[in-house]
Protein backbone atom coordinates (compact mmCIF):
# COMPACT_ATOMS: atom_id res chain seq x y z
CA UNK A 1 0.00 0.00 0.00
CA UNK A 2 2.85 2.33 0.87
CA UNK A 3 4.55 1.62 -2.48
CA UNK A 4 1.32 2.40 -4.32
CA UNK A 5 1.01 5.75 -2.57
CA UNK A 6 4.60 6.62 -3.43
CA UNK A 7 4.00 5.73 -7.06
CA UNK A 8 0.89 7.90 -7.22
CA UNK A 9 2.77 10.77 -5.56
CA UNK A 10 5.61 10.53 -8.09
CA UNK A 11 3.11 10.41 -10.95
CA UNK A 12 1.33 13.52 -9.68
CA UNK A 13 4.66 15.32 -9.28
CA UNK A 14 5.69 14.45 -12.82
CA UNK A 15 2.35 15.60 -14.17
CA UNK A 16 2.65 18.88 -12.31
CA UNK A 17 6.17 19.39 -13.60
CA UNK A 18 5.01 18.87 -17.17
CA UNK A 19 2.26 21.46 -16.83
CA UNK A 20 4.22 24.03 -14.85
CA UNK A 21 7.60 23.85 -16.55
CA UNK A 22 8.27 26.67 -19.06
CA UNK A 23 8.42 25.95 -22.78
CA UNK A 24 11.92 26.08 -24.27
CA UNK A 25 11.52 27.86 -27.61
CA UNK A 26 15.19 27.87 -28.57
CA UNK A 27 14.88 24.92 -30.94
CA UNK A 28 11.25 23.89 -30.63
CA UNK A 29 8.82 24.78 -33.42
CA UNK A 30 5.07 24.47 -33.06
CA UNK A 31 4.56 23.07 -36.55
CA UNK A 32 6.64 21.84 -39.47
CA UNK A 33 5.46 24.68 -41.72
CA UNK A 34 7.59 27.16 -39.81
CA UNK A 35 4.72 29.55 -39.19
CA UNK A 36 3.07 29.36 -42.62
CA UNK A 37 0.23 27.10 -41.53
CA UNK A 38 -3.12 28.83 -41.00
CA UNK A 39 -5.18 26.79 -38.56
CA UNK A 40 -8.22 29.03 -39.12
CA UNK A 41 -8.58 27.60 -42.64
CA UNK A 42 -8.78 24.03 -41.39
CA UNK A 43 -12.20 22.42 -42.04
CA UNK A 44 -14.40 21.43 -39.08
CA UNK A 45 -13.87 18.07 -37.43
CA UNK A 46 -17.14 16.74 -38.85
CA UNK A 47 -16.01 17.46 -42.41
CA UNK A 48 -12.59 15.91 -41.73
CA UNK A 49 -14.24 12.69 -40.53
CA UNK A 50 -16.47 12.59 -43.60
CA UNK A 51 -13.50 12.98 -45.95
CA UNK A 52 -11.57 10.35 -44.01
CA UNK A 53 -14.29 7.77 -44.50
CA UNK A 54 -14.27 8.45 -48.23
CA UNK A 55 -10.53 7.63 -48.37
CA UNK A 56 -10.90 4.43 -46.36
CA UNK A 57 -11.45 2.19 -49.38
CA UNK A 58 -8.46 3.69 -51.21
CA UNK A 59 -6.17 3.33 -48.21
CA UNK A 60 -7.13 -0.33 -47.78
CA UNK A 61 -6.14 -0.89 -51.41
CA UNK A 62 -2.78 0.79 -50.82
CA UNK A 63 -2.22 -1.36 -47.75
CA UNK A 64 -3.00 -4.53 -49.74
CA UNK A 65 -0.46 -3.50 -52.38
CA UNK A 66 2.17 -2.93 -49.68
CA UNK A 67 1.63 -6.44 -48.32
CA UNK A 68 1.87 -7.88 -51.82
CA UNK A 69 5.16 -6.13 -52.55
CA UNK A 70 6.59 -7.23 -49.22
CA UNK A 71 6.00 -10.92 -49.93
CA UNK A 72 6.88 -10.84 -53.64
CA UNK A 73 9.83 -8.46 -53.52
CA UNK A 74 13.37 -9.84 -53.93
CA UNK A 75 16.01 -7.65 -52.24
CA UNK A 76 18.72 -9.08 -54.52
CA UNK A 77 17.05 -7.61 -57.62
CA UNK A 78 16.52 -4.14 -56.19
CA UNK A 79 19.35 -2.53 -58.16
CA UNK A 80 22.15 -3.34 -60.61
CA UNK A 81 25.41 -1.38 -60.88
CA UNK A 82 25.43 1.02 -63.82
CA UNK A 83 21.65 1.02 -64.32
CA UNK A 84 19.48 4.03 -63.50
CA UNK A 85 16.58 3.34 -61.19
CA UNK A 86 14.02 5.98 -62.20
CA UNK A 87 12.23 7.47 -59.20
CA UNK A 88 10.11 10.07 -61.01
CA UNK A 89 9.28 10.12 -64.73
CA UNK A 90 7.06 12.74 -66.30
CA UNK A 91 4.60 12.05 -69.09
CA UNK A 92 1.13 11.76 -67.62
CA UNK A 93 -1.14 13.87 -65.48
CA UNK A 94 -0.69 11.40 -62.63
CA UNK A 95 3.06 12.08 -62.65
CA UNK A 96 2.36 15.77 -61.97
CA UNK A 97 0.18 14.91 -58.99
CA UNK A 98 3.30 13.70 -57.18
CA UNK A 99 4.74 17.23 -57.15
CA UNK A 100 3.85 20.70 -55.95
CA UNK A 101 5.12 24.03 -57.31
CA UNK A 102 5.31 27.08 -55.06
CA UNK A 103 6.74 30.60 -55.22
CA UNK A 104 7.29 33.54 -52.91
CA UNK A 105 3.90 34.93 -53.91
CA UNK A 106 2.18 31.92 -52.34
CA UNK A 107 3.63 32.95 -48.96
CA UNK A 108 3.01 36.71 -49.44
CA UNK A 109 6.76 37.25 -49.70
CA UNK A 110 7.07 38.41 -53.31
CA UNK A 111 5.59 38.50 -56.79
CA UNK A 112 7.14 35.49 -58.56
CA UNK A 113 4.98 32.91 -60.30
CA UNK A 114 5.66 29.35 -61.46
CA UNK A 115 3.94 26.18 -62.62
CA UNK A 116 4.67 22.54 -63.39
CA UNK A 117 3.04 21.33 -66.60
CA UNK A 118 3.53 18.87 -69.46
CA UNK A 119 5.01 19.75 -72.82
CA UNK A 120 3.66 18.55 -76.17
CA UNK A 121 6.29 15.79 -76.07
CA UNK A 122 5.08 14.64 -72.66
CA UNK A 123 7.98 15.98 -70.59
CA UNK A 124 7.73 17.89 -67.34
CA UNK A 125 8.12 21.66 -67.69
CA UNK A 126 9.02 23.72 -64.62
CA UNK A 127 8.62 27.32 -65.73
CA UNK A 128 7.68 30.74 -64.45
CA UNK A 129 8.91 34.26 -63.80
CA UNK A 130 11.31 35.38 -61.10
CA UNK A 131 10.39 38.80 -59.75
CA UNK A 132 13.02 40.48 -57.57
CA UNK A 133 10.70 43.19 -56.24
CA UNK A 134 10.47 43.21 -52.45
CA UNK A 135 7.09 43.68 -50.77
CA UNK A 136 6.82 46.90 -48.76
CA UNK A 137 5.80 45.24 -45.52
CA UNK A 138 8.95 45.92 -43.53
CA UNK A 139 9.59 42.19 -42.96
CA UNK A 140 10.78 40.63 -46.22
CA UNK A 141 14.38 41.50 -47.11
CA UNK A 142 14.94 39.23 -50.13
CA UNK A 143 12.56 37.95 -52.74
CA UNK A 144 12.46 36.12 -56.04
CA UNK A 145 12.29 32.33 -55.78
CA UNK A 146 10.25 29.47 -57.24
CA UNK A 147 10.48 25.80 -56.39
CA UNK A 148 9.04 22.40 -57.19
CA UNK A 149 9.03 19.65 -54.60
CA UNK A 150 7.95 16.03 -54.58
CA UNK A 151 5.21 15.09 -52.17
CA UNK A 152 6.36 13.09 -49.20
CA UNK A 153 6.23 9.34 -49.57
CA UNK A 154 3.33 7.92 -47.61
CA UNK A 155 2.24 4.46 -46.67
CA UNK A 156 -1.33 3.36 -46.27
CA UNK A 157 -3.59 5.26 -43.88
CA UNK A 158 -1.60 8.50 -44.34
CA UNK A 159 1.53 7.28 -42.61
CA UNK A 160 4.71 9.20 -43.37
CA UNK A 161 7.54 7.18 -44.86
CA UNK A 162 10.98 7.66 -46.41
CA UNK A 163 12.78 6.69 -49.59
CA UNK A 164 15.72 4.36 -49.07
CA UNK A 165 18.58 5.25 -51.44
CA UNK A 166 21.23 3.40 -49.45
CA UNK A 167 22.34 1.13 -52.35
CA UNK A 168 23.01 4.13 -54.64
CA UNK A 169 25.65 6.85 -54.79
CA UNK A 170 24.55 8.95 -57.79
CA UNK A 171 21.64 11.24 -58.61
CA UNK A 172 20.82 11.12 -62.33
CA UNK A 173 18.63 13.64 -64.17
CA UNK A 174 17.81 14.05 -67.85
CA UNK A 175 16.97 17.72 -68.33
CA UNK A 176 16.96 20.51 -70.88
CA UNK A 177 17.50 23.93 -69.37
CA UNK A 178 17.78 27.57 -70.32
CA UNK A 179 21.34 28.25 -69.17
CA UNK A 180 20.35 29.14 -65.62
CA UNK A 181 21.59 27.44 -62.47
CA UNK A 182 19.08 25.56 -60.33
CA UNK A 183 19.47 24.42 -56.75
CA UNK A 184 18.78 20.75 -56.06
CA UNK A 185 17.36 20.00 -52.62
CA UNK A 186 17.26 16.65 -50.84
CA UNK A 187 15.02 16.86 -47.80
CA UNK A 188 15.75 14.50 -44.91
CA UNK A 189 12.90 15.57 -42.67
CA UNK A 190 12.66 13.48 -39.52
CA UNK A 191 9.94 13.03 -36.96
CA UNK A 192 11.43 15.52 -34.48
CA UNK A 193 11.38 19.28 -34.84
CA UNK A 194 15.17 19.60 -34.80
CA UNK A 195 15.39 17.78 -38.14
CA UNK A 196 12.38 19.33 -39.89
CA UNK A 197 14.57 21.80 -41.80
CA UNK A 198 17.52 19.52 -42.60
CA UNK A 199 18.31 19.97 -46.29
CA UNK A 200 21.14 18.91 -48.59
CA UNK A 201 21.94 21.05 -51.63
CA UNK A 202 23.90 21.03 -54.84
CA UNK A 203 23.78 23.26 -57.92
CA UNK A 204 22.54 21.97 -61.28
CA UNK A 205 24.20 23.89 -64.12
CA UNK A 206 22.21 23.82 -67.34
CA UNK A 207 23.14 24.86 -70.84
CA UNK A 208 20.74 26.61 -73.16
CA UNK A 209 19.92 25.23 -76.54
CA UNK A 210 17.97 22.38 -78.11
CA UNK A 211 20.00 19.50 -76.67
CA UNK A 212 19.20 17.39 -73.64
CA UNK A 213 21.79 16.74 -70.96
CA UNK A 214 22.17 13.91 -68.49
CA UNK A 215 23.47 15.18 -65.15
CA UNK A 216 25.12 12.63 -62.85
CA UNK A 217 25.78 14.11 -59.41
CA UNK A 218 27.33 12.05 -56.59
CA UNK A 219 25.54 12.23 -53.28
CA UNK A 220 28.92 12.89 -51.68
CA UNK A 221 28.90 16.38 -53.29
CA UNK A 222 25.72 17.54 -51.55
CA UNK A 223 26.34 19.93 -48.66
CA UNK A 224 24.27 20.31 -45.52
CA UNK A 225 22.11 23.36 -44.82
CA UNK A 226 19.20 24.42 -42.66
CA UNK A 227 16.69 27.19 -43.42
CA UNK A 228 18.84 28.38 -46.31
CA UNK A 229 22.06 28.59 -44.27
CA UNK A 230 25.08 26.42 -44.97
CA UNK A 231 26.13 24.74 -41.73
CA UNK A 232 29.73 24.84 -40.49
CA UNK A 233 29.66 21.21 -39.45
CA UNK A 234 28.94 19.23 -42.57
CA UNK A 235 27.49 15.72 -42.68
CA UNK A 236 26.72 13.41 -45.56
CA UNK A 237 23.22 12.76 -46.88
CA UNK A 238 21.33 10.15 -44.80
CA UNK A 239 20.32 8.04 -47.79
CA UNK A 240 18.16 5.74 -45.69
CA UNK A 241 15.58 8.44 -44.87
CA UNK A 242 14.94 10.66 -47.88
CA UNK A 243 11.68 12.55 -47.35
CA UNK A 244 11.45 14.48 -50.62
CA UNK A 245 13.38 15.97 -53.53
CA UNK A 246 13.05 19.46 -54.93
CA UNK A 247 14.40 22.01 -57.43
CA UNK A 248 14.62 25.75 -56.72
CA UNK A 249 14.98 28.59 -59.20
CA UNK A 250 16.35 31.75 -57.67
CA UNK A 251 19.16 33.95 -59.02
CA UNK A 252 20.33 37.54 -58.78
CA UNK A 253 18.69 38.26 -62.11
CA UNK A 254 14.95 37.92 -62.48
CA UNK A 255 12.99 37.12 -65.59
CA UNK A 256 11.48 34.06 -67.20
CA UNK A 257 12.91 30.58 -66.69
CA UNK A 258 12.09 27.10 -67.93
CA UNK A 259 13.47 23.67 -67.17
CA UNK A 260 12.29 20.55 -68.99
CA UNK A 261 12.62 17.28 -67.09
CA UNK A 262 12.41 13.80 -68.54
CA UNK A 263 13.19 11.73 -65.46
CA UNK A 264 14.92 11.83 -62.08
CA UNK A 265 16.61 8.66 -60.86
CA UNK A 266 19.39 7.16 -58.80
CA UNK A 267 22.30 4.93 -59.78
CA UNK A 268 25.11 2.95 -58.23
CA UNK A 269 28.48 3.68 -59.85
CA UNK A 270 31.10 1.16 -58.67
CA UNK A 271 33.89 3.47 -59.86
CA UNK A 272 32.86 6.27 -57.52
CA UNK A 273 34.42 5.64 -54.10
CA UNK A 274 34.26 9.09 -52.53
CA UNK A 275 32.32 9.08 -49.27
CA UNK A 276 32.20 12.81 -48.58
CA UNK A 277 33.67 15.67 -50.61
CA UNK A 278 34.15 18.25 -47.84
CA UNK A 279 36.98 18.20 -45.34
CA UNK A 280 36.09 18.57 -41.71
CA UNK A 281 38.31 20.43 -39.27
CA UNK A 282 38.35 20.17 -35.52
CA UNK A 283 37.26 23.44 -33.96
CA UNK A 284 36.96 24.67 -30.42
CA UNK A 285 33.66 24.23 -28.65
CA UNK A 286 31.12 26.92 -29.56
CA UNK A 287 32.81 28.09 -32.77
CA UNK A 288 31.12 25.89 -35.37
CA UNK A 289 27.34 25.90 -35.60
CA UNK A 290 25.35 22.73 -36.12
Q: Smallest Cα–Cα separation from 199: which of 240, 173, 227, 172?
A: 227
Examine the pLDDT at 15 and tell me if it is beyond 50: no
| Digit-coded pLDDT (tens) for 80-104 | 787 899 999 998 888 999 999 999 9
pLDDT computed for residue 271 by the predictor: 92
The tens digit of pLDDT for each residue in 253-265 reads: 889 999 999 999 9
Which letter does DSSP use for residue 47 in this model?
Answer: H
- The residue count for the chain: 290
Q: For 199-232, give the secondary structure using H, E and C.
A: EEEEEEECCCCCCCEEEEEEHHHCEEEECCEECC
Cα–Cα distance between 37 and 41 in angstroms, integer? 9
Span 190-248, pLDDT tens digits: 777 778 888 999 999 998 888 999 999 999 999 999 888 888 888 899 999 999 999 99
CATH class assigned to 82-267: mainly beta
Among 78, 136, 86, 94, residue whose Cα is nearest residue 111: 136
- 92 or 279: which leads in pLDDT: 92
Q: 63 phi and psi, to 5 degrees?
A: -65, -40
pLDDT tier for residue 79 given thresholds of 50, 70 and 90: low
Please report the DSSP string for 4-42 in residue order.
Answer: HHHHHHHHHHHHHHHHHSPP-TTT--SSTTTT---GGGS
CA distances from residue 175 to 89, 103, 259 in whole angstroms, order as listed: 11, 21, 7
Q: Helix, strand or coil for residue 175? A: strand
pLDDT at 256: 94
Per the CB < 8 A criterion, the answer to whether 279 and 149 are in contact is no
Q: How far apart are CA 190 and CA 263, in angstroms?
A: 26
Mean pLDDT of 39-67: 77
Q: What is the mean pLDDT of residues 286-290?
A: 60
Amino acid sequence: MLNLQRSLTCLICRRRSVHTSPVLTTFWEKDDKGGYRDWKKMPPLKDQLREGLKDLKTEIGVWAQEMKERFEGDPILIFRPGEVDVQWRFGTTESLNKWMATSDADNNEGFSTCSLTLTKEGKGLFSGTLDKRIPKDGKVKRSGYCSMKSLRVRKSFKRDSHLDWTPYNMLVMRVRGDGRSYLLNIHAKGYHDLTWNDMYHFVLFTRGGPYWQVARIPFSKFYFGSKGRIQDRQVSVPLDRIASFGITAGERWGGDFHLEIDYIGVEFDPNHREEFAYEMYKTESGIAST
